A and B are shown apart, each in its own frame.
Chain A
Amino acid sequence: MLKLVGGGGGQDWACSVAGTGPGGEEAAFEVARPGDRGEADGWGPGWGCAGIPDSAPGAGMLQAGAAGPVRGGQGAEEVGESSGGGEERAVRHPQAPALRLLNRKPQGRSGEIKTPGNDLQRGRLSRGSRVAPPTLGMGDRSGQRERLAPHSLGAPPGTGAAAVNGMLHNGFHPPPVPPPLVCSRGPVGGGDATPPRLPLLPELQPQPPLAQHDSPAKKCRLRRRMDSGRKNRPPFPWFGMDIGGTLVKLVYFEPKDITAEEEQEEVENLKSIRKYLTSNTAYGKTGIRDVHLELKNLTMCGRKGNLHFIRFPSCAMHKFIQMGSEKNFSSLHTTLCATGGGAFKFEEDFRMIADLQLHKLDELDCLIQGLLYVDSVGFNGKPECYYFENPTNPELCQKKPYCLDNPYPMLLVNMGSGVSILAVYSKDNYKRVTGTSLGGGTFLGLCCLLTGCETFEEALEMAAKGDSTNVDKLVKDIYGGDYERFGLQGSAVASSFGNMMSKEKRDSISKEDLARATLVTITNNIGSIARMCALNENIDRVVFVGNFLRINMVSMKLLAYAMDFWSKGQLKALFLEHEGYFGAVGALLELFKMTDDQ
């Protein structure tokens, strides 16, 4: 669970951004190595087929997500420049953090002490049954805390004293953050009282650090006062995060109903985040906001606003955490709800480097809750769910809206790096049926190896131009026509990559054909496993989600075709517009639940 960890005062987002990059070349969301494939699109790992025993908590699946590369590199350049400036500044102003450090650390530790994330998470994940997903509301959580970590009681979040005690009791040492780095996180802003700066293009408006004139305690008070009038509502910013193996998916709620008074009170740091995220569509070299997916005029937790969908590669995670640290994100007292394997993998880094405690959430819970939520609010007046009419006829095949008001039971196939397949019987009754390690990661991985491409987009582009029948051995290649004894059409693939057994054919094959064959192979395989699961579970609606389907019409139509053809029309393949973001949305929803229960 994440948290607060009160920092000393307002943060200057612009400044933060500026201060991010180490070499002055890289920006907030940037990948560590320029040209790294990491910036390629990818997916959060789905559960590998190879296996996770269903009994394992692994049932939790890694959420899909995708971060596209920055096209044109504009954002990167801009941010890059600015980050250079930031660093200079950081060196120039090493003073501020001493007090804040002291103040913050204890709180950070206290967060940890109070809610040993692992314990909590383990408790949740090891529940025997998934039938009743946990309500991660505060009350509920405390209950769990009691059960799981009795010694962690007694340190309510945000109470400095308790936090300090906690630290002392536990003998925690300050994290090994070198002072200059702390310093570079930027000055403590003027707290709530600081007049907001509105750097539309933060990178162009490097701000000198402000003097720290409010005590952290006062800042906390102000913050709380600001929210006190709205009980059951967490403080801004509202994020939900899904950290997959390949891709981080981030949803951000931008309140549009901010009153003048609120605007006045809004801390600088918070404002700059809002402005930065909403005024850009690309962050660093690899962060992307999927503008077309933005949900407008959404009411969440009593506030009206827009929900933004952002993705970036998981390998940029350290950069991201670093930024969180430098921007003193921890001062915002927000709860960072995260799901996906990365929530576990990076938990320590969040805590040690950024002083942020993650609220870790089960990815399957998040996936389902997120999906149901997005479907229920619709896609800006249009339906979220769709299917393909006449899937077996390429001429007549077309996308049609589908009403998912009565979704149960459904087979949910989440295609990330790997694939997880769930049978969902109600909002909180579902089971993980199986999974396969042949997923989006396999498609991209093989494509990279076979064609030398580097991104998902590139791979798909090639695949779109290719012809898999040059690569695959078809039934007719073997039998000269249909294989009637078994009712197999001559055009059916008998052996994926089967033609590549021949050296002559290997030598003459095009990259595009190879990419296409890889795509078709992976897609058909997922379809086949999904179909078998649907049969075994006796479910006739199969919902495909995950970032493997992003900009991937080929796979969607193939899946639609395969479900229809092999089931003789009994199975329906359904798709959702927000493919890979449901885990992140689910994580955000948990944030509200926590607050509700508080």
Chain B
Amino acid sequence: PGTFKMAECGASGGGSSGDSLDKSITLSRREGLQASFHPPGLNFAWFVSPLTGGSLTKLAYYSTVQHKVAKVRSFDHSGKDAEHDHEPPYEISVQEEITARLHFIKFENTYIEACLDFIKDHLVNTETKVIQATGGGAYKFKDLIEEKLRLRVAKQDVMTCLIKGCNFVLKNIPQEAFVYQKDSDPEFRFQTNHPDIFPYLLVNIGSGVSIVKVETEDRFEWVGGSSIGGGTFWGLGALLTRTKKFDELLHLASKGQHTNVDMLVQDIYGGAHQTLGLSGNLIASSFGKSATADKEFSKEDMAKSLLHMISNDIGQLACLHAKLHGLGRVYFGGFFIRGHPVTMRTITYSINFFSKGEVQALFLRHEGYLGAIGAFLKGAEQDNPNQYSWGENYAGSSGLMSTAPELGPTQRARSGTFDLLEMDRLERPLVNLPLLLDPSSYVPDTVDLTDDALARKYWLTCFEEALDGVVKRAVASQPDAADAAERAEKFRQKYWNKLQTLRQQPFAYGTLTVRSLLDTREHCLNEFNFPDPYSKVKQKENGAALKCFPGVTRALDSLGWEQRQLALVKGLLAGNVFDWGAKAVSDVLESDPQFGFEEAKRKLQERPWLVDSYSKWLQRLKGPPHKCALIFADNSGVDIILGVFPFVRELLFRGTEVILACNSGPALNDVTHSEALIVAERIAAMDPVVHSALRGERLLLVQTGSSSPCLDLSRLDKGLAVLVRERGADLVVIEGMGRAVHTNYHAALRCESLKLAVIKNAWLAERLGGRLFSVIFKYEVPAE
């Protein structure tokens, strides 16, 4: 619907966190974006944190984003012979599509009027009469809002909003939660989302502390709290040190020595604590020394002591509650935590200490937005956003940690867009692949680049170097658009900046992986209206490959059974060499368009391959047919048509049903679901086996729900999952570097699986102990 929903929150106590950075508000940026992409009209919800008179306001709104998509459509000439030489196999049209997006931004309260003006400007033609509001700031700004916007403010419960928001991010943002370990590298350990997020304990540390047990989407209970919280740190800290700002206090604390103020065990036991096996550094009495020693204490030391006192106390209470309710996961939020490594560190220490490792302190990347998200969800209940899946848009979101008080001025300036989060509504809900052996431990990515500095350096450079080519291709894909070059340049700038951010803060968007780098690039391209830069390339390739299909199948059919199996596998692999996503290949392709299927086969490594369980696979093929195979396809053109389809055809021969899963949206030259549908029809017209299988629904084409060159088996289209269950799929084939090597290389499935790829990256090949164009053929049978 052409509405523009808005939630807004303010008064996040983080208050002073970075004056300069919050000033950027990014209103202007948003404005620009909305002017070009958003239809007028909006309604909103308003959220304000209850906790303090803090100086940050968060604005959350829901917009419908209009953007261009490339659509493919078969020519309506089924009766005619399609074998004319220069005729493309289908037509491409660029259409406007409207998708829903959630935006969250944060700015200082001083800008609230500007913000309201901004909202007002977009209020035209809206039927909205109500703003959802919650929290202390909601009361504070109620009159102003009502007067300015002529809308009624409807108050929402704060904790309800926080919890709704928390559920929402935990469900929709993979790697939302992380464990913080100060002295390890990386400091952030992102958790893959547990398929079942409930029950958990949420400890919200605002000015006070609320401890809430969340059991289901709608059921939660306030189990306790404490008045010793962020307000105590701030208020007491201000009294003790005459330092006004929260962030400055944290900064003082980070430089202090609490042992000068606290009475430690060793102060009481003397040196004997060692022989007694006590840790002498444990605090026996917070501020104990200031009661007995008549001297001046430094601000830093007092701030540190205060921080320890409060963090330890909160950690202890959280552990006591976790123990009472038998919960092992405790999420921490609130302005006391918000992006502050100092507090995350002390809280983590405290939790580890008091729970002896039985309770895990978890933090959230988007903790600061929970209230705003929740308020929005409350206000949008009639639209029921919870029935959709949402995906974080890396292009429109800023990373974690930009407000860390330790950051120097330069870093602060760079983090000017910190306070942004965009979530795109996905058309259909995403779920786990039912065939995952253990969904809770499934990690899609093979290499964690936050962990692996060497690999990180390589890949970041690799993506930087490939950027020129991507820009060039983007411009080339829209020859008729006058502003294409300009937009492409903006894209370059944006992605370049993201890469630089990631160099500094690899953890900014969760675990850094090749997948996240690829996805970010796709998001950035979309952001600047390059929905499918490869659409024409794919079209051309598909046309050419379709012409070769009859010849290839004829050749295969003439082989003996055993030879044919090997040829089919080689075909799959050779097809996979055609991959515009890999730099080495795109170089070859750009310079030598005649590079052909046979050429690719010759390039392939001879057996034994780098990873080679072909014999085992062949052995298996001699046995009974699989019931149903799920195949994740990779590239357009040669790959899907001359590699995958002949393989599919053989499976169908054997009596195995096939589910062919392709991307919902474009990513590089990957075949999309709609392209695959056309290709399948064209092949069916040439090949009776495919034809009858399609008609008989023994060959089914489904979409993955993804627009990524990689594959996250925990976020797949629900329709796919349903079908997999219905058909009793017992074989999963994953093809290509992005899906079978960068991701899922270690994925454990309940059924047989085949992961195959050609390593088209020299560095990666070397890392795996092979050379360029090494072959991975990994056939796995689950242990009984």
Please report A residues at the B interface, Cβ cutoff 8 Å.
Answer: 33, 35-38, 40, 42-53, 56-58, 60, 62, 118, 121-122, 125-126, 244-246, 313-315, 340-342, 344-348, 416-418, 434, 436-442, 444-450, 454, 471-473, 478-480, 485-488, 492-503, 506, 514, 521, 524-525, 528-529, 532-533, 535-536
Contacts and interface: CB of A to CB of B under 8 A. Distances in A.
Contacts of A524: 227
A339 to B, nearest CB: 12
Contacts of A440: 285
Interface residues of B, number: 76
26 contacts: A45-B265, A45-B288, A48-B283, A48-B286, A49-B316, A50-B286, A53-B279, A58-B273, A58-B279, A121-B276, A122-B277, A246-B263, A314-B292, A341-B269, A418-B284, A418-B285, A434-B316, A441-B284, A441-B288, A445-B286, A449-B287, A495-B229, A498-B208, A500-B236, A525-B313, A529-B316
A245 B287 contact: no
B345 interface: no
Contacts of A480: 139
A587 B507 CA distance: 56
A246 B291 contact: yes
B50 interface: yes
B268 A345 contact: yes
A492 B208 CA distance: 11
Contacts of A502: 53
B84 interface: no
B413 interface: no
A521 B232 contact: yes
Nearest to B13: A501
B136 interface: yes
A438 B320 contact: no
Contact of A48 (B226, B236, B263, B271): B263
Nearest to A43: B285
Contacts of A471: 235
A373 B292 CA distance: 31
Contacts of A417: 263, 268, 284-285, 288, 291
Given A436-B316, A439-B285, A445-B286, A501 B263 contact: no
A472 B283 CA distance: 26
Contacts of A500: 234-236, 238-239
A533 B323 CA distance: 10
B290 interface: yes
Given A50-B312, A449-B287, A494-B208, 20 more contacts: A37-B291, A37-B294, A49-B316, A50-B309, A52-B282, A62-B268, A126-B276, A341-B272, A345-B272, A347-B272, A416-B285, A418-B283, A437-B284, A441-B292, A445-B287, A479-B136, A486-B222, A495-B206, A498-B231, A501-B231
A53 B354 CA distance: 8
Nearest to B207: A495
B737 interface: no
A348 B271 CA distance: 10
A48 B157 contact: no
B324 A532 contact: yes
A35 B293 CA distance: 11
Q: Give the most central of B225, B292, B309: most A CB within 10 Å.
A: B292
A47 B285 CA distance: 7
B232 A495 contact: yes
Contact of A501 (B234, B268, B276): B234
Contacts of B160: 485
B272 A58 contact: no
Interface string B126-163: 00000000001001000000000000000001011000
Top 5 A-B residue pairs of the complex, sorted by shortest distance between their CB atoms: A500-B235, A345-B270, A445-B287, A441-B285, A495-B231
Contact of B276 (A38, A122, A246, A529): A122
A448 B290 contact: yes
A57 B275 CA distance: 10
Contacts of B469: none
Nearest to B282: A51
A390 B288 CA distance: 34
Contacts of B235: 471, 495-501, 506
B682 interface: no
A497 B232 contact: yes
B241 to A, nearest CB: 10
A449 B290 contact: yes
Given A58-B265, A495-B208, A496-B227, A37 B293 contact: yes
A445 B285 contact: yes
A429 B766 CA distance: 63
B292 A501 contact: no
Q: Give the most central of A345, A437, A514: most B CB within 10 Å.
A: A437
A363 B314 CA distance: 27
A479 to B, nearest CB: 7
A525 B226 contact: yes
A50 B287 contact: no
Contact of B278 (A57, A342, A418, A496): A57
A120 B276 CA distance: 11
A254 to B, nearest CB: 29
Contacts of B293: 37
A499 B210 CA distance: 18
Contacts of B353: 50-51, 53
B297 interface: yes
B608 interface: no
Nearest to A124: B276
B487 interface: no
Nearest to A344: B272
A217 to B, nearest CB: 34
B330 to A, nearest CB: 14
Contact of B286 (A38, A442, A479, A499): A442
A53 B268 contact: no
A125 B276 contact: yes
A347 B272 CA distance: 9
A535 to B, nearest CB: 6
Contacts of B312: 49-51, 436-437
B52 interface: yes
A117 to B, nearest CB: 9
A347 B276 CA distance: 14
Contacts of A495: 51, 206-208, 227, 229-232, 235
B244 interface: yes
B122 interface: no
Given A245-B263, A436-B316, A346 B356 contact: no
B309 A438 contact: yes
A269 to B, nearest CB: 28
A126 B238 contact: no
B267 interface: yes
A496 B139 CA distance: 22
A419 to B, nearest CB: 9
Contacts of B320: 434, 529, 532-533, 536
Nearest to B15: A501
A472 B227 contact: yes
Contacts of B313: 49, 436, 438, 525
B304 interface: no
Contacts of A50: 262, 282-284, 286, 308-309, 312, 350, 353
B270 A315 contact: no
Interface in B198-244: 206-208, 210, 222, 224-232, 234-236, 238-240, 244
B317 interface: yes
A446 B480 CA distance: 72
Nearest to A533: B320
Given A496-B228, A498-B235, A58 B282 contact: yes
A478 B308 CA distance: 26
Contacts of A416: 285
B214 to A, nearest CB: 13
Interface in B280-329: 282-294, 297, 302, 308-309, 312-313, 316-317, 320-321, 323-324
A207 B738 CA distance: 97
A497 B236 contact: yes
Given A48-B265, A53-B356, A246 B288 contact: yes
